[in-house]
Amino acid sequence: MGTTTPIENALFDLKDFVQANIGTYLAAIETEKGDGILLPVFAVCKVGFIDLFSQRNYPAVCFVPDNTDIEPPSREEDIDIAVDIIFALTSRDPENPETELTKKQMRYADAIRALIASDNNLTGKVSLADTRNADFFPADPNNPKINLTIMRIEIITEESIP
């Protein structure tokens, strides 16, 4: 008898969906703004928490499960999964890195929001995916050219836990 792991599947499905499709949205924002701020696709993209301040390549992102509401395994109910998408961005602007980083944070958040809204079932992998909020954090004094953003995504899947 095979088993499924809907929580794990949903987390990896979200990561794969964002990784495969985010470039189109970032390129559209770059073109629209036309101010020279580059928005490359994620150089590091992992499931599970990683130290985003010690990566060799940026931008970096990790997908981390948070609150998950599940019914008892005997019931065929929805599973409501909260996932934090945490991404770190760097600045190449020697004159005004804070402004560049703030703009990048908002643009990456907008790209992820628009991507998920464009296909809120992740190409049929889940019942519903929806962005909930984004928290923007300024650079750490020890890492003044790296900012963090945490986006909360809610995923609902109808699979039951075996």
Residue 103's pLDDT is 94
Number of compact structural domains in the chain: 1
Residue 161's pLDDT is 46
Within-domain flag for 153? yes
Residue 95's pLDDT is 84
pLDDT: which is higher, 4 or 36: 36
**Which whole number is the average pLDDT over 22-41?**
96
Segments forming the whole domain that contains residue 118: 6-157
**155: pLDDT strictly greater than 70:** yes
Residue 8's pLDDT is 86
Within-domain flag for 87? yes
CB atoms within 10 A of CB 20: 13
Within-domain flag for 1? no
Contact (Cβ atoms closer than 8 angstroms) between residue 79 and residue 70? yes
pLDDT above 70 as % of the chain: 90
Within-domain flag for 162? no
What secondary structure does DSSP assign to 105-128, as a single string?
HHHHHHHHHHHHHHTTTTTTTSSE
Domain CATH code at residue 15: 3.30.70
Q: Give the pLDDT band of residue 4 (cuts 50, 70, 90).
A: low
Contact (Cβ atoms closer than 8 angstroms) between residue 102 and residue 149? no
Residue with token string 């495969």: 20
Q: Give the pLDDT band of residue 112 (cuts 50, 70, 90).
A: very high
